[in-house]
């Protein structure tokens, strides 16, 4: 049972336009959400996170929006650049996990930014 779902396996965007990557979750106990970027043959790199007490967090070109009632979050990248081409993973952790903030991952969305 996939608790974190990224329903779009791939996304193609023109350079300079906005990229919107979506993520849905089923576990209402999740209280912390993260986005990671991953290039082939490398480990995931942390991008941005958001706590469930917020509905938006912004860092440069990256903004994450959280809609708790819909159990949905999205990552906006604007403007998109060719170097943003990578696989983007959404991950969540559970406040009931106590000291173990293990991450539950989506399957990823492969973003291609075309020059």
Partner 1 sequence: NAGVMQNPRHLVRRRGQEARLRCSPMKGHSHVYWYRQLPEEGLKFMVYLQKENIIDESGMPKERFSAEFPKEGPSILRIQQVVRGDSAAYFCASSLRTSAGNTEAFFGQGTRLTVV
Q: Is there binding between residue 63 and partner 1 (CB under 8 A)?
A: no
Q: Give the integer Cα–Cα distance in Å for 110 and 40.
A: 11
Which residue among 25, 30, 88, 89 contacts partner 1 (CB under 8 A)? 89
Which residue among 103, 111, 113, 115 contacts partner 1 (CB under 8 A)? 103
Report which of 98, 95, 107 is spatially closest to residue 4, judged by C-alpha positions.
107
* Cα 69 to Cα 46, 72, 73, distances in angstroms: 25, 8, 11
Q: Is there binding between residue 78 and partner 1 (CB under 8 A)?
A: no
3-state percent helix, strand, coil for the chain, nearest multiple of 5: 5, 55, 40
Which residue among 76, 104, 110, 112 contacts partner 1 (CB under 8 A)? 104
Rounded to a whole number of angstroms, the minimum distance from the CB of residue 69 to partner 1 is 21
Query: Which residue, 15 or 31, is less far from partner 1 as judged by CB?
Result: 31
């Amino acid at each position: 049972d996939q608790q974190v779902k990224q329903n779009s396996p791939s996304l193609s965007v023109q350079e300079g336009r906005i990229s919107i990557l979506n993520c849905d979750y089923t576990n209402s106990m999740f209280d912390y959400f993260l986005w990671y970027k991953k290039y082939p043959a490398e480990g995931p790199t942390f991008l941005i996170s958001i706590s469930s007490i917020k509905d938006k967090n912004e860092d440069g070109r990256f903004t994450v929006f959280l809609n708790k009632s819909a159990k949905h979050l999205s990552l906006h990248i604007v403007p998109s650049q060719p170097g943003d081409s990578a696989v983007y993973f959404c991950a969540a952790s559970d406040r009931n996990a106590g000291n173990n903030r293990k991450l539950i991952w989506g399957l990823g969305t492969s973003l291609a930014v075309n020059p």
